[in-house]
């Protein structure tokens, strides 16, 4: 055995047997899926605080979530809304998988979630107490509610899961990275992993921090605010919520006699050093965006800027996204032609949409695969976004349809992709590729395949 417990040879099979969804499209996988099929948007004017004074006023809020009804009473004041979402989703996912943790070996159950900004709203309240009233007004729960590991810890405690626990922060790509990690855990002694992610940063400080990226849409009409790959794209809409998935080894699921929505077939992650992020390069100017970083941002020994820079790195340099897609396909043992649909990252910023469309064209050929982005209904959910995309992809596989991207009008010039518009396609897809990019350069891809569960348990 190796230090990490990985054994040489092929990976075991990882299947998804339960889904828990808390999203602007609805609470529960069934309600979410109905919204996706009918193109029902969860975007609207922000109600959690008065957004009048801010340039961004539209977001995707989870409708009708009452922590008191969906989270154990003692945990409500102890935790942030992002953890409330995860506790509710984890409970649903376990029920959906018909898994009773009390009957499973304690050390073989693990939890790994994505976190983007932790308990943002809770933290703002406690900083307000500190700065307004003094240090003794900071509550005892700040130490366990604000940090990025709050959700994983609470979920592990709630369900008695004593295996390895993890938290991966890759901003909006983190959800895929957490699911990628769940496969590693299943290969190293765990049999069941609760994985995915949630986010709830729609408080004033959370929104204002997001404004600084310059990527949020300032459009006031919810139907016009988040239009990825569209000629009228104007950035993206933030949202809250996410999904928690029960990922099991195929053997464990078989032993329990439960069907699976699908299988995690392949995963890869990479880092795009040309992405916007820590240095906040301008997003509108392609040439400036792709300029090599100044010497000083490199290690002295890693000074690749000393090499002659390519005239235009967006075209001349290898696309990290292309490479990540190819590695994920190789990990799955699939060729591009084997992929039946792509859930795009769909950033909504023209330059990034174009880069993603070009990457898909490079791998699959022009219009070579149906591409969709149901996240236009929810906005971008940060740590919850990619996890929800995977849940949606699994629902689509189990239902045999490619869901459409609602609300788009005219495709942006240069995006030579087969975007699924207007209505779902009943093409019985068997595989899906899910893409995610996170602030600063995180780039991840996950390939999922259909399972033997073909209807939602109601």
242-301 residues near another protein, rule: CB under 8 A: 268-273, 277-280, 293, 296-301
3 state SS for 402-413? ECCECCCCCECC
8 Å CB contact between 303 and 295? yes
Nearest of 387, 434, 437, 451 to residue 21 by alpha carbon? 387
Q: Minimum Å distance from CB 9 to another protein?
A: 10
- Cα 407 from Cα 353, distance rounded (Å): 16
Owner of token pair 């922000």: 46
**Which of 40, 63, 141, 338 contacts another protein by CB under 8 A?**
141
Q: Binding mask 316-345 vs another protein (x if CB under 8 A, - otherwise)?
A: ----x--x----------------------
Phi and psi torsions of 333, nearest 5°: 70, 30
Rounded CA-CA distance 39/360 in Å is: 24
Residue 60's closest CA among 242, 238, 243? 238
Which residue bears the tokens 């307004």? 132
Q: Which of 58, 161, 354, 381 binds another protein (CB under 8 A)?
A: 161
Residue 103 near another protein by CB under 8 A? no
CB of 157 to another protein, least distance (A): 5
| Contact by Cβ (8 Å): 252, 442 | no
Of the residues 10, 102, 134, 455, which one makes contact with another protein according to CB under 8 A: 134
Q: How far apart are CA 64 and CA 446, in angstroms?
A: 31
**In this complex, which beta carbon is closest to another protein, that of residue 231 or of residue 278?**
278
Indicate which single residue of 303, 422, 428, 452 sits in contact with another protein (rule: CB under 8 A). 303
164-203: which residues touch another protein (CB under 8 A)?
Answer: 164-171, 174, 177, 184, 189, 201
**What is the C-alpha to C-alpha distance for residues 325 and 317, in angstroms, rounded to an integer?**
16
Contact stretch for another protein (CB under 8 A) within 37-45, 150-158, 363-371, 395-403: 150-158
Instruction: State in angstroms the smallest separation of the CB of 305 from another protein.
Output: 9
100 binds another protein (CB under 8 A): no
| In the complex, least distance from residue 206 CB atom to another protein, rounded to whole angstroms | 7
Nearer Cβ to another protein (238/451): 238
For 312, the token pair is 């235009």
Beta carbon of residue 297, minimum distance to another protein (angstroms, whole number): 6
Pick the binder of another protein from 10, 64, 103, 135 (CB under 8 A).
Answer: 135
* Nearer residue to another protein within complex by CB, 78 or 314: 78
Work out whether 159 is an interface residue with another protein (CB under 8 A): yes
Longest dimension (CA), the chain: 62
CB of 359 to another protein, least distance (A): 14
Backbone angles phi, psi at 402, to 5 degrees: -100, 110
By CB under 8 A, the residues from 397 to 416 that bind another protein are none
In the complex, the smallest distance separating the C-beta of residue 319 from another protein, rounded to whole angstroms, is: 11
* Per CB under 8 A, 50 contacts another protein: yes
For residues 392 and 344, give the distance between their C-alpha atoms in angstroms, rounded to a whole number: 12
Give min distance, CB of 189 to another protein, in A: 8
The dihedral built from the CA positions of residue 332, 338, 340 and 346, taken in this order, carries a sign that is positive
241-249 and 192-199 as β-strands: parallel, antiparallel, unpaired? antiparallel
Least distance in angstroms from the C-beta of 149 to another protein: 5
Non-local CB neighbours of 157 within 8 Å, separated by 6+ positions: none
Residue 146 in the binding site for another protein (CB under 8 A): yes
Subset of residues 417 to 446 that bind another protein, contact rule: CB under 8 A: 438-442
Nearest approach, Cβ of 368 to another protein (angstroms)?
24
Q: What does the alpha-carbon distance between residue 311 and residue 202 come to, in Å, rounded to a whole number?
A: 41
Binding range to another protein, per CB under 8 A, among 28-36, 161-169, 230-238, 363-371? 161-169
- 30-38, 129-137, 227-235, 244-252 -> range binding another protein (CB under 8 A): 129-137
3-class secondary structure, 388: helix
Nearer to another protein, 210 or 392 (CB): 210
**411, β-bridge pairs:** 230
Position 5 contacts another protein (CB under 8 A) = yes
DSSP codes of every residue in 33-71: HHHHHHT---EEE--SS--TTSS--EEEPPTT--HHHHS
| Residue at token pair 């219009």 | 367
């Amino acid at each position: 055995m190796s230090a990490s417990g990985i054994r040489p040879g092929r990976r075991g099979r990882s299947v998804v047997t339960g889904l828990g969804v808390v999203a602007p499209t609805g609470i529960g996988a069934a309600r979410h899926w109905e919204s996706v099929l009918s193109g029902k948007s969860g975007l609207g004017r922000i109600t959690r605080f008065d957004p009048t004074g801010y340039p961004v006023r539209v977001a995707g809020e989870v409708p009708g979530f009452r922590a008191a009804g969906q989270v154990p009473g003692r945990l409500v004041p102890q935790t942030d809304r992002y953890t409330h979402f995860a506790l509710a989703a984890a409970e649903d996912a376990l029920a959906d998988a018909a898994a009773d943790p009390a009957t499973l070996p304690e050390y073989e159950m693990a939890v790994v979630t994505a976190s983007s900004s932790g308990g943002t709203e809770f933290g703002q309240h406690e900083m307000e107490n500190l700065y307004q009233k003094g240090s003794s007004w900071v509550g005892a729960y700040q130490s366990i509610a604000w940090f990025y590991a709050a959700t994983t810890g609470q979920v592990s405690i709630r369900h008695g899961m004593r295996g390895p626990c993890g938290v991966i922060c890759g901003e909006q790509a983190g959800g895929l990275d957490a699911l990628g990690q769940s496969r590693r855990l299943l290969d190293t002694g765990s049999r069941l992993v609760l994985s995915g992610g949630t986010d709830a940063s729609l408080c004033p400080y959370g929104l204002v921090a997001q404004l600084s990226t310059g990527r949020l849409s300032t459009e006031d009409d919810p139907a016009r605010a988040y239009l990825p790959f569209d000629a009228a794209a104007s950035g993206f809409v933030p949202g809250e919520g996410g999904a928690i998935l029960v990922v099991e080894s195929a053997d464990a699921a078989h032993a329990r006699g439960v069907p699976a929505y699908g299988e995690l077939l392949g995963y890869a992650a990479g880092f795009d050093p040309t992405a916007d992020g820590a240095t906040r390069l301008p997003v509108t100017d392609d040439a400036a965006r792709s300029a090599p970083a100044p010497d000083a941002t490199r290690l002295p020994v890693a000074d690749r800027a000393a090499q002659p820079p390519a005239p235009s790195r967006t075209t001349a340099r290898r696309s990290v996204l292309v490479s990540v897609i190819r590695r994920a396909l190789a990990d799955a043992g699939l060729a591009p032609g084997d992929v039946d649909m792509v859930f795009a990252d769909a950033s909504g910023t023209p330059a990034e949409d174009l880069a993603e469309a070009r990457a898909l064209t490079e791998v699959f050929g022009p219009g070579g695969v149906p591409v969709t982005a149901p996240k236009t209904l929810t906005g971008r959910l940060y740590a919850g976004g990619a996890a929800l995309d995977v849940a949606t992809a699994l629902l689509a596989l189990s239902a045999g349809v490619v869901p459409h991207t609602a609300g788009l009008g005219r495709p942006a010039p240069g995006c030579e992709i087969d975007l699924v518009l207007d209505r779902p396609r009943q093409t019985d897809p068997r595989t899906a590729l899910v893409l995610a990019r996170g602030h600063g350069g995180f780039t991840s891809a996950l390939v999922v395949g259909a399972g033997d569960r073909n209807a939602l348990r109601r």
